[in-house]
Homo-oligomer: A and B are copies of this chain.
Amino acid sequence: MPKKTDTRDRVLKTAAALFRSQGYHATGLNQVLAEGGAPKGSLYFHFPGGKEQLAVESLQLSGGELCEQLKQVRSLDEVVELLGKRLVESDFQDGCPIATVALDAANESEQIRQACDSAYISWERVIADHLEQQGIKDSRALATTILAAIEGALLLARTRKDLAPLRQVGQHLTLLIQKER
């Protein structure tokens, strides 16, 4: 018999994938339970705070996973490669794991807004750490611009179903990093 924590993990992973690709409002709790193989009515047992709690934990999970991946990369090219691969392998459904919910739900829930913001801040810090190791002084400011440009590139690439915007942005950001060194 599967353990209680298995069901919770499965539901959370399923929810994270759905929120990531289609946003908060398009994701129904019944869809999460069905795709997660969890019995109807079990959601509030595992997530007493309901959909909002599920979204917050999904954002923390997705945000944390990408944060760990960003820590491992050695260059901006590798970031572009990693994100491009995710886009192509998901048929351009998986761009930024936070952006869809940030845009369609952060306005109406302060908890969700803070979870989105925390993910962005954590990525920005990792980027700033990488830049600092390269001897860049104003690493935090440049990290903000790198994060923003990559976020926008993921949005354009996803909408266009084409990696070109992501690759183009990668080239210009490399120039900008060289200039700041």
Chain A residues in the interface with B (C-beta under 8 A): 21-26, 92-93, 95, 99-100, 102-108, 113, 116-117, 120, 141-142, 144-145, 147-153, 155-156, 158-161, 164-165, 168-169, 171-173, 175-176, 179
Secondary structure of the A contact surface, majority rule: helix
Contact of A144 among B92, B95, B103, B168 (CB under 8 A): B168
Contacts of A103 in B (CB 8 A): 23, 95, 99-100, 103-104, 155, 158
Q: Complex: how many Å from CA A55 to CA B166?
A: 26
Q: Complex: how many Å from CA A106 to CA B21?
A: 10
Q: Complex: how many Å from CA A120 to CA B165?
A: 11
Contacts of A113 in B (CB 8 A): 159, 161
The winner among A24, A148, A160, A161 for most chain B CB atoms within 10 A is: A148
Q: Complex: how many Å from CA A93 to CA B26?
A: 19
Contacts of A99 in B (CB 8 A): 99, 103, 155
